[in-house]
Amino acid sequence: MPELSDVVSAGGLLKREPRQARSRARLAQILTAADAILAEEGVEALTIRRIADRAAVSVGTLYQFFPDKGSVVDAVAHAYIAEFDTLVEGLISSADGGDWSDPVGRIVDEFVALYRSHPGYVALWSGRHLSPELARADEANNQLIAAGVQRMLAEHAGLAGNDGLELAVQVAVRAADALLQYAFTVSPDGDNAVLAELKTLLRLYLANLTPGTGR
The pLDDT tens digits of the residues spanning 2-52 come to 455 554 554 556 767 777 788 888 888 998 999 899 888 888 888 999 999
The pLDDT tens digits of the residues spanning 38-87 come to 888 888 888 999 999 999 999 999 999 898 888 888 888 888 888 888 88
DSSP structure string for 23-69: HHHHHHHHHHHHHHHHHHH-GGG--HHHHHHHHT--HHHHHHH-SSH
Return left, alpha or beta for 191; rule: phi > 0 is left, psi -120 to 50 is alpha, else beta.
beta
Do 145 and 173 form a contact (C-beta atoms < 8 A)?
yes
| Cβ contacts of 93 within 8 Å, gap of 6 or more | none
- Domain borders along the chain are 4-65, 70-207
Cα 103 to Cα 73: distance, rounded to the nearest angstrom: 33
The pLDDT tens digits of the residues spanning 144-169 come to 889 988 888 777 666 766 678 889 99
pTM of the prediction? 0.78
Q: Please give the C-alpha separations between residue 131 and each of 127, 173, 198, in angstroms, as whole numbers.
A: 12, 21, 28
Task: For the domain covering 70-207, report its CATH number.
Answer: 1.10.357.10
Q: Which CATH class is domain 4-65?
A: mainly alpha
